[in-house]
Amino acid sequence: MRSVFFDMNSTFIATLALVGGLAPTQDVVLPGKPAPHFAGKLTTGKQFDLTIAAKEKPVLVFFISTTCPVTSEATKFYDRISKAYAKHGVTVVGVVNDAKKGYDAWQKIHKTSFGSLLDPDYKVITAFGVYASPTTILVAPGGKVEKVWIGYGQKELKSANEGIAKLLGKPVAKVDLAGAPTETALG
């Protein structure tokens, strides 16, 4: 069964959320729960295993819909977060709802520095219960979900930045959020 994350009209999803038809984390894996395991070859050519990556460091999982304009806008900010914490061994990994051809066209525009796992069969997307774009999940060292953000904006980006820093026991990195929406945007 495919996740409605990429199949439903975004206006319909947003309307349901606003009128109470969808709880923000109705289907998404909840904080405190173990993050569903996934592994595979990333678009960078490197092998990735969530259990290994999250053994001692936080991992930020950014779910990417290659056709979502809001995800496209959010991508540059998550790339900045990725670069800010790379020296601390933090992994930002994309999970993409597309095959190589669709991802390559998307990556040609966005040029992200972080690797992504292609998930055209929605196995990882469904395992996490993701239904809206963009969704970002912070996995704490040890593999439990720390925080879930559905949509993005300055509040969500600041929270992700602060959450990573807290889990690392480091100061919050300076990440340029200029141009990010002041209200949560959902695609």
Distance CA 124, CA 21 (A): 24
The pLDDT value given to residue 26: 52
The string of pLDDT tens digits covering residues 1-52 is 334 444 433 333 333 333 333 444 458 999 999 999 999 999 999 999 999 9
pLDDT at 5: 45
Distance CA 60, CA 63 (A): 10
Q: Which of 160, 170, 163 is nearest to 74 (CA)?
A: 160
Rounded Cα–Cα distance for residues 109 and 161 (Å): 24
Q: Sorting pLDDT into bands at 50, 70 and 90, what band is 120?
A: very high
Amino acid 1: pLDDT:
38
Model's pTM, two decimal places?
A: 0.86
Average pLDDT over residues 105-123: 95
φ/ψ region of 146 (left if φ > 0, alpha if ψ in -120 to 50, else beta) reads alpha
- Binned at pLDDT 50, 70 and 90, residue 187 comes out as confident
Beta strands in 38-134 (DSSP E): 39-41, 47-49, 59-64, 91-96, 116-118
Taking a C-beta distance cutoff of 8 angstroms, is the pair 85, 79 a contact? no
pLDDT, tens digit (0-9, with 9 covering 90-100), for 54-84? 999 999 999 999 999 999 999 999 999 999 9
